[in-house]
Amino acid sequence: MEPPHFVMFPFMAQGHLIPAVDIAKMLAKRGVTVSILVTPKNGCRVKKVVDRAIASGLSIRVFHLRLPCAEAGLPEGCEHFDTLPSKDHVLNFFKATAMLRDQVQDFIARVNPTCLIADMCFPWATDVATQLGIPRLVFHGTSCFSLSCVNLLENSSFFEGIASDTEYFVVPGLPHRIEITKIQARGSVQELNPESVEIRKQIFNSEEDAAGTVANTFQELESEYINKYANIKSKKVWCIGPVSLCNVEESDKAERGNTAAIEGHECLKWLDSHAPGSVIYVCLGSISRVGDVQLMEMGLGLEATNRPFVWVIRNASDAFESWLSEEKFEERVGGRGLLIRGWAPQVLILSHRATGGFVTHCGWNSTLEGVSSGVGMITWPVFAEQFCNEKFIVGVIKTGVRVGVEVPVQLGMDESGEVQVKRDDVKRAIDELMDGGVEGAERRERARRLGEAAKRAVEEGGSSQVSMTELMQDMVRLKASYSDKSLDATKLDEISSLISTPVN
């Protein structure tokens, strides 16, 4: 009997592409054939990891789609969100992705898979799957806590009744008391334009007809909010994370998502030279473009702590590089400061025994990677749902300290030159996280326990392993019902034997 065949269709941004490839590997380890739909340049970013998975015997195939850049008003070859010239091109990018519909539909019709797992940013994928009799699952790539917040506010008049953009209010209907401002909940300082409102509306509507949600989370982390989101949507949620933990080999950790700007062994050698739990790791995500003056304040705050740190700097301007050179910053911090320009092997760094704290933008992938590594976090949200994730880290699981960001940066691309976080704020937050007396010790212990729970969740018999088995069996049954075919007990047992046990 042919094994189930799942199609993964990730959005063209690192925070979406990376977990999608991890999910593909996890499915393939359970005996599923997986096809990944990407554009050529996105395929190049994950080629090494995927090629190793295929070489190990996993049934993964990559198929390239042509993104119609020129037709959508984008520069040719602009196939990834982090390559957009400016925030003015965001709607063009979504227009280009919508024009992929015919290619995706032709592929689905040709291979007739068991299931399509499509990113939330492709609302039209539900219609494609429905027309072809294929279950479509939504992949959001964020927490059920944030999804619950967004849905509660979007689906009621409460949000519209908040006049002030910056006044804190309590999100209604949550198990915890969560206070947030209107612009933080919106993830933007500006009201959405009509085109963006329409995209959000399409995303919400497409979820109504989807078969459910695949979530990169685990029961022990946010069970109340998994249940809350499932009740809000009246849909099943399969929690299979943290998906980053499927990367066991050093090479997979080092090359996950993109080619690192530093060799994995070089990074490990530097970390090996520092005491356990002493290093602060600083990374504000793949999209964020922090202004020069804010970067300077961050650097001076790190220097003032007198603690070892790894600082990932992306999209740095010539002016900032000149500042680093003129100030002899790297010489001043000497062997206790490692600056990485470009992509960093984040999972490799976070999982190292020397890493004791994580300054993060609160993207959900990074948040989960911090949780999985058992480290406390300093929250520095930038935009989108990251402010909601900050509330979860600080107010629900209580493993983090706020650095003090109040206002989102439009689409993560800071062009204002304003400074929200001073060097003293950076030092205070780091000292509080790494020391913090009794409260700090309790915070670190909570982080450690959650890290252990994350690892148990993905082990055999763990909550996420069980959910993965249910996901595959549910989709086989659902596809059979869509096809108006009976699935007798013998065939179901045969399928179950194929997909119930992970491949080591």
> Model confidence at 411, in pLDDT bands (50, 70, 90)?
low
The per-residue pLDDT for 504 is 41
**Given a cut of 90, is residue 188 above it in pLDDT?**
no
Band (pLDDT 50/70/90 cuts) for residue 346 is very high
Q: What's the confidence (pLDDT) of residue 497?
A: 52
pLDDT tens-place string over residues 42-78: 999 999 999 999 999 999 999 999 999 999 999 999 9
C-alpha span between 292 and 320 (Å, rounded): 6
DSSP state for residue 289 in the 8-state scheme: B
- pLDDT tens digits for range 95-154: 999 999 999 999 999 999 999 999 999 999 999 999 999 999 999 999 999 999 988 887
How far apart are alpha carbons 117 and 214 in whole angstroms? 8
Task: Using the predicted structure, report yes or no on whether residue 256 has a pLDDT greater than 90.
Answer: no
User: Greater confidence, 253 or 331?
Assistant: 331
Q: Give the β-pairing of 169-170 and 136-139.
A: unpaired
Calculate the alpha carbon distances from 294 to 25, 205, 291, 341 in Å.
38, 39, 5, 17
pLDDT over threshold 50, residue 501: no
192-196, 236-240, 380-384 — most confident range: 236-240
**Polymer length of the chain:** 504
pLDDT tens, residue by residue, 387-408: 999 999 999 999 999 999 999 9
Q: Sort strands 179-180 and 169-170 into parallel, antiparallel or unpaired.
A: antiparallel
Would you list the DSSP string of 28-73?
HHTT-EEEEEE-HHHHHHHHHHHHHHHHTT--EEEEE----TGGGT
At 272-316, the pLDDT tens digits run 999 999 999 999 987 777 889 999 999 999 999 999 999 999 878
**Residue located via tokens 């989101």:** 229
In the predicted model, is pLDDT for residue 222 greater than 80? yes
Using 50, 70 and 90 to split pLDDT, how confident is the model at 337? very high
- DSSP-based three-state secondary structure for 238: strand
For residue 441, pLDDT beyond 60: yes
Q: Is 226 a residue whose pLDDT tops 50?
A: yes
pLDDT value of position 255: 67
Sign of the dihedral defined by the CA atoms of residues 324, 325, 327, 330, in that order: positive
Percent of the chain with pLDDT over 90: 71
pLDDT (0 to 100) of residue 503: 42
* 37 class by beta-carbon count within 10 Å (0-12 exposed, 13-18 middle, 19+ buried): buried
CB 409 within 8 A of CB 492: no
pLDDT at 414: 59
**pLDDT class for 270, splitting at 50, 70, 90?**
very high
Indicate the pairing of strand 309-313 with strand 5-9. unpaired
Average pLDDT over residues 164-177: 92
Q: What is the mean pLDDT of residues 342-358?
A: 93
Cβ contacts of 80 within 8 Å, gap of 6 or more:
12, 13, 14, 41, 42, 45
Angle 219-233/144-154 helices, nearest 10 degrees? 30
**Mean pLDDT, to the nearest integer, of 171-179?**
94
Is-cis flag, bond preceding 40, omega within 30? Answer: no
Section 234-244 average pLDDT: 96
pLDDT at residue number 485: 54
Beta bridge partners, 33, equal 5
**Domains of the chain: residue spans and CATH:** 5-142+196-246+458-499 (3.40.50.2000), 255-456 (3.40.50.2000)
Task: Tell me what the mean pLDDT of segment 241-263 comes to.
Answer: 76
Residue 490 has pLDDT above 70, yes or no: no
Residue 498 tokens read as 């194929």
Four-CA torsion 225, 228, 234, 236, nearest 10 degrees: 30
Q: Say which residue, 436 or 327, is predicted with more confidence.
A: 327
